[in-house]
Amino acid sequence: MTRPRLAASIAALTAGVLLTGSVSGCSMLSKDKGASTTCSQFASMDSETGLLGSPNDDQTTTIKSMLSAHDKATNDSNVRVAYLKIIQYCNIYGGQSGSNEDKTIDNISGLD
Give me the number of domains the chain comprises. 1
Q: pLDDT by residue (tens digit) across 8-33?
A: 555 444 444 444 433 334 433 344 56
Residue 23 lies in a domain: no
Cβ-based neighbour number of residue 80 at 10 Å: 14
Would you state the pLDDT for residue 16?
45
Residue 6 lies in a domain: no
pTM assigned to the model? 0.69
Q: pLDDT by residue (tens digit) across 38-81?
A: 999 999 999 999 888 899 999 999 999 999 999 999 999 999 99
Quick one: average pLDDT of 73-91?
95
Would you state the pLDDT for residue 66?
94
Q: Which domain holds residue 79?
A: 31-107
Residue 38 lies in a domain: yes
Residue 63 lies in a domain: yes
